[in-house]
Amino acid sequence: MKKRVALNIMDLGLAKMNNRKISFHPIKKQEGEYIAPRSIFSGQCATFQASMKLTVTIGQCFGLNPVLGVSEMDPSKLRFRVCSWRFFYSIVSIVAQFSVVFLCLLKMLRQSESSLPSNTFLVFSSTNCMTTILFLRLSRKWPRLSQQISKTEAVDPNMDSTLVRRCNACCITILTLALIEHLLSDLSSAAVSMDCENKGYEGFIMQSFPWIFDVLPYNNVFGFISQLINIQCAFNWNFADVFVICVSMYLTSRLGQVNHRVRAVRGKHVPPIVWRTLREDYSRITKMVRRVDDVIGEIIFISFANNLFFICLQLLHTLAEGIRATPTCHEPDRRPLQGYEHAVYFVFSFIFLVSRSLSVSLIASKVHSASKEPANALYDVPSDAYCIEVQRFLNQIHGDTVALSGIHFFNVTRGLVLTIAGTIVTYELVLMQFAGVTPTAAPT
């Protein structure tokens, strides 16, 4: 076993230049691999495994990312096994969701007239079935990715003490709002069933899933299974965004730690070895970003595509139908919100969808913004301290695009938000023409 000393400039303010101390941290190496210090697994450092632990665990409750060992702090204990109940649960979920997609497609083919709003659930169920498949593919790569990241953490631990708490808070908040949205959706369907059909649970199921029971005969078992599949699809729709957000927060934190070290020597006379060490730290993290992007790029792509489609669809619904109470079938009105159940659900769902989409775009774009930040400090290097290492650092920052992407079709940057907004306006005009929605004159 050999020891190698790594220069870690400005790690938590310990290393400082110009009459300040520099700290050296020994790193053990064995058989060509870095061994993480014990403190990394004892909760003193914000590891990737700790940051994603709650998110991945909740996802496995709905058949996503079926890997073993997610409750462990040591990523070397992560395993993907075909012969496990988690893998079997994912396969059953995929088969059930694909069956719903098939029934929706069959109903669409049997209809004489079909439109985009009438086939919304076909798109919803098919994209969420694809999400489950992509997370199953991700589970094969997840243990190796986590172990590669742990090696980087062994060389340069992440000391962001708030990272795990922020990831957990983000996960719980978004999924709680998703649960409220789903309950409002069920309330809307139950109000229509109670007001017009008055068939109890059977009427509620028939009202909620007509594309299933137009083909299959109704029974309570099919009704219960349909509800479970619907809950799973609604969760998958939101979980893809949560997953991307938590991964982006971790990568931004890692780049932010390097940026903190660069800012500490801004405008100071430091030897070339300092800039070389900082550049190597930066290169180590950017390689991590690329490895993560190669693994989760498909999840990012389907997350952005899903959000774009449903924002356009709900805007079309607003322009075509407006927000108003649903007429009652009986007098007096027996509905709890007097016909505004669907309006309340629609307004909450639309605001939540737009907010979630903006959060994904803005938080994921911070990875790109953080990768460009060191250039500001490099421009302030004094002339007599300028060296080839500073030039190489600048060339690396401006020559490479460090950002998350959707299968390399697009990079998630701040400019992407404006691009998506312009795309929504364009697609909305096209959808209005196909749907026959025209602006109405104001009443005189």
pLDDT in tens, 81-122: 988 899 999 999 999 999 888 888 887 777 766 566 557 788
- 20-24, 159-163, 201-205, 420-424: range with lowest mean pLDDT: 20-24
What is the three-class DSSP state of 198? coil
Answer whether residue 240 is part of any domain.
yes
- 136, pLDDT greater than 90: yes
The residues, any chain, with a CB within 8 Å of residue 338's CB and separated by 6 or more, are 325
pTM value is 0.84
| pLDDT of amino acid 250 | 95
Alpha-helix residue ranges (DSSP H) falling in 20-119: 38-41, 48-60, 85-110
Answer whether residue 142 is part of any domain.
yes
How far is 226 from 146, CA to CA, in rounded Å? 35
How would residue 64 be classed by pLDDT, with cut points 50, 70 and 90?
very high
Report how far Cα 340 is from the mean position of its chain's Cα atoms: 32
| Lookup: tokens for 156 | 């340069």
Which carries the bigger pLDDT value, residue 260 or residue 28? 260
Query: Burial letters for 35-49: b for 16+ Cβ neighbours within 10 Å, e otherwise?
Result: ebbeebbeeebbbbb
Most confident among 109-118, 120-129, 285-294 (mean pLDDT): 285-294
Q: 295: closest CA among 163, 134, 167, 80?
A: 134
Answer whether residue 409 is part of any domain.
yes
| pLDDT of amino acid 36 | 42
Expressed as residue numbers, the domain containing 126 is: 2-435
Answer whether residue 407 is part of any domain.
yes
How would residue 351 be classed by pLDDT, with cut points 50, 70 and 90?
very high
| pLDDT of amino acid 5 | 35
Which carries the bigger pLDDT value, residue 301 or residue 158? 301
Answer whether residue 206 is part of any domain.
yes
| pLDDT of amino acid 191 | 77
Query: Terminus-to-terminus CA distance in the chain, angstroms?
Result: 87
What is the three-class DSSP state of 375? helix
pLDDT tens readout for residues 273-282:
999 999 999 9
Answer whether residue 344 is part of any domain.
yes
- 131, pLDDT greater than 90: yes
Answer whether residue 231 is part of any domain.
yes
Answer whether residue 362 is part of any domain.
yes
Domain count, the chain: 1
| pLDDT of amino acid 15 | 40
Arithmetic mean of pLDDT over the chain: 81
* Single-letter amino acid code for the residue at 434: F
How far is 384 from 69, CA to CA, in rounded Å? 53
Q: Are strands 24-30 and 2-7 parallel, antiparallel or unpaired?
A: antiparallel
| pLDDT of amino acid 367 | 94
